Amino acid sequence: MRDFRGMQVWHKAHALTLDVYRATNVFPREEVFGLTSQMRRASSSIPANIAEGCGRGGDGEFGRFLQIAMGSASELEYHLLLAHALGYLDDKTHTSLETQVVEIKRMLTGLLRRLGTDR
């Protein structure tokens, strides 16, 4: 069993989630059950799946949860593009959040390669 709190990728994913929550606080009210909710769920799914994978036995199971986290990161990446295109995120916020997502995806890819579960 791994301690997710000791993983840099988990810390970065957790920080991203907090930033997404802050950024979506200013979205229009009509998006509360739409884009706001989807972005928050996708972002929080990344560190949650890393944590859950750490609690599982074996590299294979850990890798499966890292792949789910990767999927959530890709989903969030699209939602960020959509929110920016709709004018809900300014350029600076969008760039900051996108940069964080890309870094997390790179870190997850590296972990998956090391585990040999990147197929």
Could you list the mean pLDDT of each consecutive 10-residue stretch along the chain, which spans 119 residues? 91 98 97 96 98 90 96 98 98 98 98 80
Distances from the Cα of 18 to the Cαs of 11, 68, 116, in angstroms?
A: 11, 20, 30
Supply the pLDDT for residue 58: 86
Domain 4-115 class in CATH: mainly alpha
Domain locations in the chain as residue ranges: 4-115
pTM of the model: 0.94
